[in-house]
Structure 1
Amino acid sequence: MPYADVNGMSLYFEEHGTSEDTVPPLVLLHGGFGAGEMFQPLLAAGLGEGRRVITVDLQAHGRTPDVVGRPMSMEAMADDVAGLVKELGLPAVDVLGYSLGAGTAARLAVQHPDLVHRVVLVSMPARREGWFPGVRAQMDAMHEGAADALKQSPMYELYERLAPRPEDWPVLVEKVASMNRRDYDWTEELSGVTAPVLLVFADADGISPAHMVEFYGLLGGGHKDPGWDGADRPASRLAVIPGATHYDLMFSPLLVPVVRSFL
């Protein structure tokens, strides 16, 4: 199995497809309690057609073991992904992340701008208050004790099947819960990202529509008419997928064409 030794951990990744040297590889980053294999339906639908695609199992997820004593954070996981990109000898990549993976992708663009060509952020706010209050309340209430109840979920089925130590499930739950309770505001840093960014949200997301527009504004969008020829159109884009929620957005048949158009 392909592992990369980065930042004191064995990071699991898989490679799919091939591409010309002029086309940057596409790195895919899953959501919380997920794994890289969750992108298989999107790859089957043509997301990575004509590209070298790299899926990553982030810290303590999927086949990547946890790092004992290291809290989970999107900043640290962004450094892990940067380490993988360098280990593979890639000058720059396109990156798509969903939820937790989108936060990691955003931090990659902030912390390692030289490694990022284009960025797709699916259903993740620029600051914690972008989530609806009810979502934040659920995050605040989550703790290690929820591990047993979550064993009835598809998330645990995936973890039990892939994890090198399935008995570490409560550790993952606690680390994700601790990370989700942490307040953050990346608006100032994200406004300085130079790579083009595609923001993708569901029309019934856990993130408020007002914040979607605010986030797009941070990236230079929505400030003026682009002109009849589109000359003043911003490099970044905003997509709102109809008929979707935060929880099923990745299964929308509209997602792949939107992302491929941007990439």
Structure 2
Amino acid sequence: MTLTRRRFLVTASLAGLAAAFGYAAPAPEVIWRGRVFGAEASIRLRSEAPERARSAIRAALGEIARVERAASLYRRDSELVRLNRTGVIVNPSTTLSGLLALCDALHAATEGAFDPSVQPLFTALAGGGDAARALGRVGWQRVSLTGREVRLGRGMALTLNGIAQGWAADRVAEALAARGFDEVMIDTGELRALGGGAGRGAGWPVQLQGRTLQLADRALATSEPLGTVLDRAGRIGHILDPRQGAVLPRWRKLAVSAPDAAVADGLSTALCLLDEEAQARALRHFPAARIEARLPA
């Protein structure tokens, strides 16, 4: 497996852009950097009270830990790993239940393109296994969701990597907003902004395909199907079609914004597998979301 950068977004220099756009100098910035779901992450918070900001960030990190305990494939003790191992979870956490409910909505909106049960296919392709056999174990319709139980069909396994990073960003945003902070940029692999980093109401500047997008009280997620490839030839990307398996990518890069990072995250993944008409149909289910960049393969 060859790993390359998944994102094609780079946050701009906030101080420089403040001067360039004529905004007032922003408040001092407190920055946390670490790892979320095995990838680099950061929280940037503007506040005149750095100690209070650091305390709020520490509290918000508890939300990330909560999401990882529910949905991480990197933790042996997570609910998701236990579900994949045993095939059933009784009384799932509200975090896992919420994630799976959103998966259900995304699966319906994208006509099956978003499907967390694609994990056996990913495992087979990444490890040189039998992809055709693995594809037979994929199918969201075989996942039973009730208020008290999650049950998988025989041989199934789920991945929540298509929305969990965005979900974590949303929970951090909620935690910081509840503590009175409204100038925040969260990067958990997907971006979630509160307020604007270069001046109140201006938006956090993000470089996106040669233009500057001002991200304010909104999230942005990007997908690059060949950002991670599963074969030496570099033709099989990590975004797999649950209906067909490994297919040549339709889009090289795609970015979606939405009020919630989890929705933007899931849509940016699934829309890579759809043509423009199917993308438009999917977005009608999430009218506040929109495609910000789309590059053909």
Same fold? TM cut 0.5: no
Which structure would you say has the larger Rg?
Answer: 2
Please report the TM-score for the alignment, with normalisation by the length of structure 2.
0.26
Structure with the greater relative contact order (CA < 8 A, sep ≥ 6): 1 or 2?
Answer: 2
